[in-house]
Amino acid sequence: MTTQTLNQTIEITPFEGPLGAEITGLDLSQPLADDDFKRIHRAHLDHHVIVFRDQRITPEQHITFSRRFGPLQIHVLHQFQLSGHPEILIVSNVMENGKPIGLGDAGHFWHSDLSYKETPSLGSLLHAQELPAEGGDTLFANMHLAWDTLPQALRDAVEGRFAEHTYLAKYAELQKRSPWRPNLSAEQIAQVKPVVQPIVRTHPETGRRALFVSEHFTTRVIDMPEDESRNLLQALFDHSVREEHLYRHQWREHDLVFWDNRSLMHLAAGTPDHLRRKMYRTTIEGDTPF
Ligand code: SIN
């Protein structure tokens, strides 16, 4: 039996502001025609965050759609994989039987997913399962704009330079404040050795340049005295998250949000402790940054 793929009546509506677009008229539980896939791919490159409304999809369908963009990465915190679907990381503040069911403080600091790996993520897809009545927003910062608008003195300071990214950079600090950071095994620690990335990267598909440092994972500028490195990174972090570079996503039921980790950083704004939030995330592998 052959599966028929029909073109759907997709509408792509860019948001006002520095990034993002909404996609309606698409049902990702149905097979996706190649033409539709191409339009979605183009929208992702043009807008950096695309919001698919009202996606009543299963974890398998979430994984299948994500895989069209590349192989999926498995998060080092295997404790929070969805049972039977290691490609899905549960992001949640919910506790069951006294134990967290997911990573509740994912996104507490600005970051680009998996920048601490030699091949960081191309993009991530976060699907709303359970949303709080208030809070729970996700913020995105356009790192192309951050580079384009960077003052010349800072551009000169970072051009051609590299920085270290470490998964463990804030781990102990997060572990002190929350129940979501288990002690890591030797095997997990071995999976997240520090890596060195260019401070300014070139998007492999669009050729646009972007700042590629984050508050969460970037620890130091290579070959620079410690004080100078700290001050420089702080100036880059502050500039990156200026209001005019940001989009705040206020979640609706069944939203599926797909962002480009090569173009953006993101931050989870936080959920009040007494409210439940549960999301499923897939993470697509990207290229070695250059
Ligand atoms: C993440 O950093 O992947 C989680 C973002 C969120 O929960 O809003």
CB 192 within 8 A of CB 216: no
pLDDT, tens only, 228-259: 999 999 999 999 999 999 999 999 999 999 99
Please state the φ and ψ torsions of residue 23, each to the nearest 5 degrees: -120, 120
Nearest atom, ligand 1, residue 266 CA: 2
- 272 has a pLDDT exceeding 80: yes
Give the mean pLDDT of the chain. Answer: 96
pLDDT, tens only, 120-135: 999 999 999 999 999 9
Give catalytic status of residue 62 as yes or no.
no
| Distance from the alpha carbon of residue 138 to the mean position of ligand 1, in angstroms | 7
Give catalytic status of residue 266 as yes or no.
yes
DSSP secondary structure letters along 132-165: -SS---EEEEEHHHHHHT--HHHHHHHTT-EEEE
Per-residue confidence band for 4, with pLDDT thresholds at 50, 70 and 90 = low
Q: Supply 181's token pair.
A: 């950071």
CB 65 within 8 A of CB 126: no
Nearest atom, ligand 1, residue 268 CA: 8
Q: What is the mean pLDDT of residues 81-89?
A: 97
Q: What is the mean pLDDT of residues 81-110?
A: 95
| Distance from the alpha carbon of residue 125 to the mean position of ligand 1, in angstroms | 10
Nearest atom, ligand 1, residue 91 CA: 7
Pocket of ligand 1 (CB under 6 A): 91, 106-107, 124, 138, 266, 268, 279, 281
pTM: 0.95
Q: What is the mean pLDDT of residues 81-102?
A: 96
Q: What is the mean pLDDT of residues 18-37?
A: 95
**Amino acid code (one letter) for 144:** H
Give catalytic status of residue 113 as yes or no.
yes
Q: What is the pLDDT of residue 5?
A: 67
- 69 has a pLDDT exceeding 70: yes
| Distance from the alpha carbon of residue 137 to the mean position of ligand 1, in angstroms | 9
| Residue 79: DSSP 8-state | G
pLDDT, tens only, 167-223: 999 999 999 988 889 899 999 999 999 999 999 999 999 999 999 999 999 999 999
Per-residue confidence band for 6, with pLDDT thresholds at 50, 70 and 90 = low
Q: Supply 110's token pair.
A: 């600005």
Strands 49-52 and 21-24: parallel
Alpha helices in 20-109 (DSSP H): 34-47, 59-67
Q: What is the pLDDT of residue 3?
A: 52
Q: Look at ligand 1, atom 7, and give the residue with the nearest C-alpha.
A: 268
Q: Which of 5-19, 29-43, 83-97, 224-238 has the lowest mean pLDDT?
A: 5-19
Q: Give 4-285's CATH code, choosing from 3.20.20.70, 3.60.130.10, 3.90.1180.10, 3.40.630.10.
A: 3.60.130.10
